[in-house]
Amino acid sequence: MSKRGVFITFEGGDGTGKSTQAKMLVAALQARGVTPILTREPGGTPQAERIRDLLLQRDSGHFDPLTEALLLFAARREHLVTKIQPALANGDWVISDRFADSSRAFQGYGMGLDLETVENLYRMVAGDFEPDLTLIFDIEPEKGLARSAHKKASTVNKTESGEDRYELMGLEFQKRLRKGFLEIASQNPDRCVVINADQDIAAVHAEILEVIESRFALSPVFSGLKVDGGRG
Ligand code: TYD
């Protein structure tokens, strides 16, 4: 790939506010002249969204953890090769609300699937491909759960669609998730940045923008400044 875009993933436990922040980052980048593609996992393409429906609907019951991981990685493979990688090859920025660290944290640390198995599945579907930056939204599990309970109470349709299987797993599960995400961050210091999600929305957004601006040279054109070509 001669020209490559930027791939940023948003990760964390439930109720960290990352989906709101992903949308806010898209708007902030648009204001700087970059139009990122916002996507999510599980899902992101029509076929992968069908696998998402299987995974998240309550009435589909529980899967064996390895079966669940296989479904997630099947969806991820589809998402990666039909959407993420072509966009990056085209020079686009792609922001994904969750990606492979969610499998490490949820299926590995949370559900007890062997971490090596998760890594092997990752290598099978993605090879040595990695996000350029992963933001890990961190909040105390008690607070995160309270936030998602509040959100659920105010979004009737989401409750009716039954998309809450993982959130039903409770506080101990969320604690294992948090430990997992923080370990992933400390094992991958070049790729991951932990974001303090226990702040107001504007403060979290500012923290994220600072990270993005320090990592990626947004061209002066993108910041709305005129570029002096040196001839004038
Ligand atoms: P979603 O409603 O998108 O939750 P959130 O707003 O917290 O991102 O549902 C996605 C759920 O799927 C979420 O609870 C995390 C879970 N998940 C996994 O368990 N493993 C994975 O690899 C991915 C991508 C998600």
Query: Which ligand 1 atom is nearest residue 97's CA?
Result: 8
How high is the pLDDT of residue 202?
A: 98
Query: Which ligand 1 atom is nearest residue 73's CA?
Result: 22
Answer yes or no: are the C-beta atoms of 36 and 42 closer than 8 Å.
no
Ligand 1 pocket member 174 (CB < 6 A): no
Q: Which residues, other chains included, contact 39 with Cβ-Cβ below 8 Å and sequence gap of 6+?
A: 79, 83, 84, 94, 95, 96, 97
Predicted confidence band of residue 170 (pLDDT cuts 50, 70, 90): confident
Give the SS3 label for residue 61. Answer: coil
Q: Which helix (H) or strand (E) holds 27?
A: helix 18-31
| Average pLDDT of the residues in 96-103 | 98
Strand partners, 138: 196
Rounded CA-CA distance 201/221 in Å is 27
Q: Who wins on pLDDT, 48 or 163?
A: 48
Predicted confidence band of residue 168 (pLDDT cuts 50, 70, 90): low
Among 53, 71, 98, 168, residue to substitute to test ligand 1 (most atoms within 8 Å of Cβ): 98
Say whether pLDDT at 99 is over 90: yes
CA-closest residue to ligand 1 atom 16:
166
Q: Residues in the chain, how many?
A: 232
Predicted confidence band of residue 148 (pLDDT cuts 50, 70, 90): confident
How high is the pLDDT of residue 219?
A: 56
Highest mean pLDDT among 88-102, 143-157, 218-232: 88-102
Ligand 1 pocket member 19 (CB < 6 A): yes
Answer yes or no: are the C-beta atoms of 196 and 138 closer than 8 Å.
yes
Ligand 1 pocket member 110 (CB < 6 A): no
Burial classification of residue 217, based on how many CB atoms lie within 10 Å of its CB (0-12 exposed, 13-18 middle, 19 or more buried) = exposed
Q: How far is the CA of 40 from the centre of ligand 1 (A)?
A: 9
Ligand 1 pocket member 163 (CB < 6 A): yes
Q: Is the dihedral of CA 123, 52, 185, 27 positive or negative?
A: positive
Of 187, 195, 197, which is closest to residue 140 (Cα–Cα)?
197
Say whether pLDDT at 166 is over 70: no
Ligand 1 pocket member 25 (CB < 6 A): no
3-state secondary structure 92-149: CEEEEECCHHHHHHHHHHHCCCCHHHHHHHHHHHHCCCCCCEEEEEECCHHHHHHHHH
CB atoms within 10 A of CB 142: 12
pLDDT digits (tens, 9 = 90+) for 56-82: 886 767 889 999 999 999 999 999 999
Say whether pLDDT at 188 is over 60: yes
Rounded CA-CA distance 3/127 in Å is 19
Say whether pLDDT at 216 is over 80: yes
Q: How would you label 166-203 residue by residue, b for 16+ Cβ within 10 Å and e otherwise?
A: bbebeeebbbbbbebbbebbeeeeebbbbbebbeeeee
- Backbone phi and psi for residue 188, each to the nearest 5 degrees, phi listed first: -130, 60
Ligand 1 pocket member 188 (CB < 6 A): no
Token couple for 118: 């998760």
CA-closest residue to ligand 1 atom 11:
166
